[in-house]
């Protein structure tokens, strides 16, 4: 956990596999998953980077969702008997 995460009282960080597992345990299935951004540097390191570099991090996140720093998931209720 970074100092910034502690300052914003982040309780924990989940990867995409953990998020899917939590959804399944709640009786949901993910119907869409997309990476938001690969973030190879700290938030402070992002400051001052060219827009084209930031756009590249976003594009990489969409292509490499398993490696993205943030992910967007859509869940729906699982059919009866599937978990």
Q: pLDDT tens digits, residue range 9-66?
A: 888 888 888 999 999 999 999 999 999 999 998 888 999 899 999 999 999 999 988 8
Alpha helix stretches (DSSP H) within 1-83: 3-7, 16-25, 43-46, 51-63
pLDDT for position 82: 64
Predicted model pTM = 0.68
Domain map of the chain by residue range? 15-77
Q: What is the mean pLDDT of residues 66-81?
A: 88
Sign (positive or negative) of CA dihedral 39, 59, 54, 70: negative
Choice between 6 and 24, residue whose per-residue pLDDT is larger: 24
């Amino acid at each position: 956990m970074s100092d910034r995460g502690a300052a914003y009282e982040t309780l924990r960080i989940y990867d995409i596999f953990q998020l899917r597992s939590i959804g399944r345990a709640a009786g949901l299935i993910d119907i869409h998953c997309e990476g938001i951004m690969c973030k190879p540097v700290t938030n402070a390191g992002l400051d001052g980077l060219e827009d084209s570099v930031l756009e590249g991090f976003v594009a990489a996140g969409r292509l490499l969702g398993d490696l993205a720093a943030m992910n967007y998931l859509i869940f729906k209720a699982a059919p009866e008997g599937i978990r």
